[in-house]
Copies of this chain bind each other. A is one copy, B any other.
C-alpha cells in the first residue's frame, strides 16, 4: 500500500490486448490511472474511453505523445509498428511499455533501445510470464541453485484457435508466439546466451496456406553457451485451450511450471475423471498481465528500469530471427551477437 500519486498512462492501440490493459490501468492498478487512449480505427478509442471513463481519446497517436499529462504509454498496436512507436514515445519523454515483440529486426530493436536510453525513460516489454506466480516460483528455485545448472529445457505456447490464416503475417509464429518461449528460456537460464538455433515448422492446421507462407506449428532447438539444450514448441490451435508450460532440468534436478487446469475441481463419474482447462491467455495470465503493468506504473513513477527490458526483448528477438533463418536455410544458425553497448 502506498499513498503516492498515481501515474497517468496512455494506451496506444485499442484492440483485444489493448482493451485488456486499459481496463487494468483504469480499474485494477492502484498506482496508475488511464489518461488517454489513441487508435486510428474510427470510434475504437472513443468507445473504450467511454466504457472506462477515460478522460481523453485520440485517433492520432501524436496527440497522445504531445499530451503533457501522460507519464507513460502502453503500446498495443500491430507488431510491425512497435519499434517506431517506442522511438516516438521515448522522444516524447514517456515511459514505455510495449507488447512483444519489441521489433521485427535487430536494427529496429537497437534504435528503440537507444531511443529509450537517450531519453532516459523506462522501457519494458510485455513478457508477462515473468510476472506469473508459478513461473516466478520456478525462477526462484533455479536462482537458488535448487536444480543446479540447466541442461535440458522446454517451453511451449499453444494458442486456443487459429485466426484467419490469410491475415497472419509471415513468421508470426516466431516473432509473436515463440518469442515468449525464447524469453522464458533465456530468463530461466540466467546469464546464458543462445549460440545455436535450429527450427522446424509446418502448416499442419491449415496446410492449404502453406504455399502462402503460413507456419502454424513449430519446434525450435536452442543451444546455450552454458551447454543447456532447449526446446520451444508452438501451435496456433490447441482445441483444449491455452497451453503454456515450461520445464528446466539441471545437474541438481527438475523444475516444472505451468498448469493446464482452470481450477483443481475434479469430477469423477462412471466415465472417469474430468477437469476443466484454461481457455485463453487472459484467463491464465490475468494476474500476470495486471502485475506487469503495476510494475510498469511503478517504474514510470520512479524512473527505474523495469525488470524486463529492451535488452531482454532483443535477446529473444535474436533467437526468433535465427529460427527464421534456420527455416529458410534448413540448417542450424548462430544468432547474431548481443546488443553492443556502444551502438
Asked if B269 and A264 make an inter-chain contact with CB atoms under 8 angstroms apart, the answer reads no
With both beta carbons as reference points, the residue of chain B lying nearest to A210 in the complex is identified as B227
Bound CA span A254–B238, Å:
8
Q: Is the CB of A239 closer than 8 A to any CB of chain B? A: yes
Which of the candidate stretches A67-75, A145-153, A305-313 sits at the interface with the other chain? Answer: A145-153
Asked if B1 and A52 make an inter-chain contact with CB atoms under 8 angstroms apart, the answer reads yes
Contacts of A331 in B (CB 8 A): 330-332
Bound CA span A332–B221, Å:
12
Q: A151-B217, A229-B217, A254-B243 are in contact. Are A249 and B235 (CB under 8 A)?
A: yes
Interface residues on A, range: 35 or more
With both beta carbons as reference points, the residue of chain B lying nearest to A246 in the complex is identified as B265
Q: How far is the CB of A118 from chain B (nearest CB, A)?
A: 35
Q: Is the CB of A141 closer than 8 A to any CB of chain B? A: yes
With both beta carbons as reference points, the residue of chain B lying nearest to A276 in the complex is identified as B272
Q: Is the CB of A298 closer than 8 A to any CB of chain B? A: no
Asked if B146 and A267 make an inter-chain contact with CB atoms under 8 angstroms apart, the answer reads yes
Contacts of A228 in B (CB 8 A): 204
Q: How far is the CB of A5 from chain B (nearest CB, A)?
A: 10
Complex partner residue of A240 from B52, B158, B253, B258, CB under 8 angstroms:
B253
Asked if A229 and B202 make an inter-chain contact with CB atoms under 8 angstroms apart, the answer reads yes
| Interface SS of A by simple majority | mixed
Q: Is the CB of A88 closer than 8 A to any CB of chain B? A: no
With both beta carbons as reference points, the residue of chain B lying nearest to A51 in the complex is identified as B1
Asked if B219 and A133 make an inter-chain contact with CB atoms under 8 angstroms apart, the answer reads no
Kindly identify, within residues 220 to 256 of chain A, every residue whose CB is under 8 Å from any CB belonging to chain B.
221, 223, 227-229, 231, 233, 235, 237-241, 243, 249, 251-256
The 8 lowest CB-CB distance pairs between A and B, nearest first, are: A253-B269, A134-B263, A240-B268, A273-B275, A259-B264, A27-B30, A137-B265, A254-B268
A-side residues, CB < 8 A to B, are: 1, 3, 23, 26-28, 30, 50-53, 133-135, 137-138, 141, 146-147, 149, 151-152, 154, 156, 158, 196, 198, 200-202, 204-205, 207, 217-219, 221, 223, 227-229, 231, 233, 235, 237-241, 243, 249, 251-277, 330-332
Known contacts A3-B50, A252-B270; 9 additional CB pairs below 8 A are A146-B267, A152-B219, A202-B229, A219-B231, A237-B251, A253-B270, A260-B273, A272-B275, A330-B331
